[in-house]
Amino acid sequence: MKSRIFKDRIIAYKKTDKFLAVSLEFDLLAEGKDMIQALKRLHDATTGYLKTCYEDNETDKEIYRKAPKKYQDMYDLFMELSEKTHKKEKSFKEVSSIQLTYTSESFCHA
């Protein structure tokens, strides 16, 4: 099978007493008691989703499903604010958005 690369943007945030992690490119959501747990669960869900899509020979058009606009807007706002903060402070340590790349080799032999 031909190797494929899948790119994703993720946003994670606290909502009441739990954390949510959202895949903006695949419209997947996971929750956890802390941000790390939510991100791990989203990673597992995304890997499982992509493995199934890859095995079913789905096209990119079938695989990529945009998350609702409210999550896209949250990501855009965060990126805008982090850019402004980064310009003011030389060390910006808190990150609430992530960009990931998945390759088919990471799950096609599992």
Nearest to 4 by CA among 101, 108, 103, 107: 103
Quick: pLDDT tens for 6-17: 899 999 999 999
Residue 95 reports pLDDT greater than 50: no
How far lies 63's CA from each of 1, 25, 85, 108, in Å?
Answer: 17, 9, 34, 16
Cα separation of 71 and 94, whole Å? 19
The residue that leads in pLDDT, 7 or 108, is 7
Quick: pLDDT tens for 20-33: 999 999 999 999 99
The model's pTM is: 0.79
Cα separation of 65 and 53, whole Å? 12
Where b means 16+ CB within 10 Å and e means fewer, 33-56 reads eebeebbebbbebbeebbbebbee
Residue 40 reports pLDDT greater than 70: yes
Q: Which pLDDT band, with edges at 50, 70 and 90, does 87 fall under? A: low
Q: Which pLDDT band, with edges at 50, 70 and 90, does 107 fall under? A: low
What pLDDT, on the 0 to 100 scale, is given for residue 98? 64
The residue that leads in pLDDT, 88 or 72, is 72
Please give the tally of structural domains in the chain.
1
Q: What is the DSSP secondary structure assignment for residue 104, as one 8-state letter?
A: T
How far lies 9's CA from each of 56, 87, 88, 101, 104, in Å?
Answer: 23, 22, 25, 9, 17
Residue 60 structural domain? 5-108
